[in-house]
């Protein structure tokens, strides 16, 4: 099965043929994969070279000229490096774009900190008006991408090399399993390991591909017994904690937020599994964290 990045690129190759409003903006990353499309649509596949401020600025100008820009590179270079361009050249202009990153928090573990961006969603979350999708399967990625292209709004699509076995496309939060002792919310690629980690526990498991807007209504209605929530996000721990607090503002509740650790920079290479372990995002660590949290109730 092709991964999310390949699914994204092949979808864009087709969508450039189908929708004359769509333009893809690149900064060398993935340019070779769209070389064919660039030959067919030289005006709408724009590789700015290794210039990430221009990458986002050009996207803003394209949108202001009536196009639908799709902007793609690694999250470090799409959100962190040109953060001010994301804030000003898109949001402040009232200009939309679909920003598509691939690389997650540590999909390139041997590349080190320069290619890790666990803070991307938190950064985007500082700017009003963004829709944020964190698909857990390539089919979900294609579905939200196809939905985003006809619009004019600001969409961040966070693709990763980590994936669940089966797609669960759909808006908002889905109830995957029902229980009474608490709620575990798994975001994107975290679902399969959350299901395994909570196997046999009397908890509700919710799943979300789309985290902004945050489906607080579904979370609130899932809290029927104990208002104990475990949030499992594949990026910076607690990125959605404020959304959980808001959704449960009318009920006393407890929250445990799992994700990429904030307390240290993990200076380690190895493979993705090593980093899952270092951040407590492997199945066993999640299981231990959920049990300890419920037992303290």
Residues that bind another protein (CB under 8 A): 20, 23, 43-44, 46, 48-49, 51, 53-54, 56-67, 69, 84-85, 88-89, 92-94
Q: Are 205 and 194 in contact (CB under 8 A)?
A: yes
Least separation, in Å, of the C-beta of 70 and another protein? 13
Least separation, in Å, of the C-beta of 61 and another protein? 2
Distance CA 283, CA 232 (A): 11
Least separation, in Å, of the C-beta of 32 and another protein? 19
Of 91 and 231, CB closest to another protein: 91
Least separation, in Å, of the C-beta of 96 and another protein? 13
Of 57 and 118, CB closest to another protein: 57
Burial class (CB in 10 A: 0-12, 13-18, 19+), 112: middle
* Residue 207: HSE in the Cβ half-sphere, 13 Å Cα cutoff: 24
Least separation, in Å, of the C-beta of 101 and another protein? 19
Q: Are 193 and 283 in contact (CB under 8 A)?
A: yes
Of 60 and 216, CB closest to another protein: 60
- The terminus-to-terminus CA distance of the chain in angstroms comes to 42
59 phi/psi in degrees, rounded to 5: -60, -40
Of 59 and 281, CB closest to another protein: 59
Of 4 and 56, CB closest to another protein: 56
Query: Which residue is listed with tokens 């229980």?
Result: 179
């Amino acid at each position: 099965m092709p991964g999310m990045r390949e699914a994204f690129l092949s979808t864009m190759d087709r969508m450039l043929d189908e929708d004359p409003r769509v333009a893809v903006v690149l900064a060398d990353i993935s340019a070779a994969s769209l070389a064919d499309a660039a030959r067919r649509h030289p005006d709408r596949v724009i590789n700015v070279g290794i210039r990430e401020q221009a990458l986002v600025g050009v996207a803003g100008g394209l949108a202001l000229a009536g196009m639908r820009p799709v902007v793609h590179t690694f999250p470090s270079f799409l959100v962190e490096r040109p953060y001010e361009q994301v804030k000003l050249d898109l949001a402040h202009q009232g200009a939309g774009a679909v920003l598509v990153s691939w690389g997650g928090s540590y999909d390139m573990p041997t590349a080190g900190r320069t290619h890790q961006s666990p803070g991307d969603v938190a950064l985007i979350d500082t700017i009003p008006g963004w829709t944020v999708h964190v698909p857990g399967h390539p089919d979900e990625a294609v579905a939200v991408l196809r939905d985003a292209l006809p619009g004019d709004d600001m969409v961040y699509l966070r693709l990763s090399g980590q994936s669940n076995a089966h797609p669960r496309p759909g808006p908002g939060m889905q109830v995957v399993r029902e229980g009474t002792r608490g709620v575990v919310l798994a975001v994107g690629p975290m679902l399969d390991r959350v299901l395994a980690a909570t196997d046999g526990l009397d908890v509700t498991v919710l799943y979300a591909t789309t985290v902004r807007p945050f489906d607080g209504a579904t979370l609130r209605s899932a809290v029927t017994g104990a208002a104990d929530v475990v949030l499992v996000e594949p990026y910076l721990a607690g990125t959605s904690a404020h959304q959980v607090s808001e959704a449960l503002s009318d009920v006393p509740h407890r929250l445990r937020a799992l994700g990429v650790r904030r307390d240290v920079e993990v200076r380690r290479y190895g493979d993705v599994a090593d980093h899952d372990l270092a951040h407590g995002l492997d199945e066993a660590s999640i299981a231990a964290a959920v049990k300890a949290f419920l037992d303290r109730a």
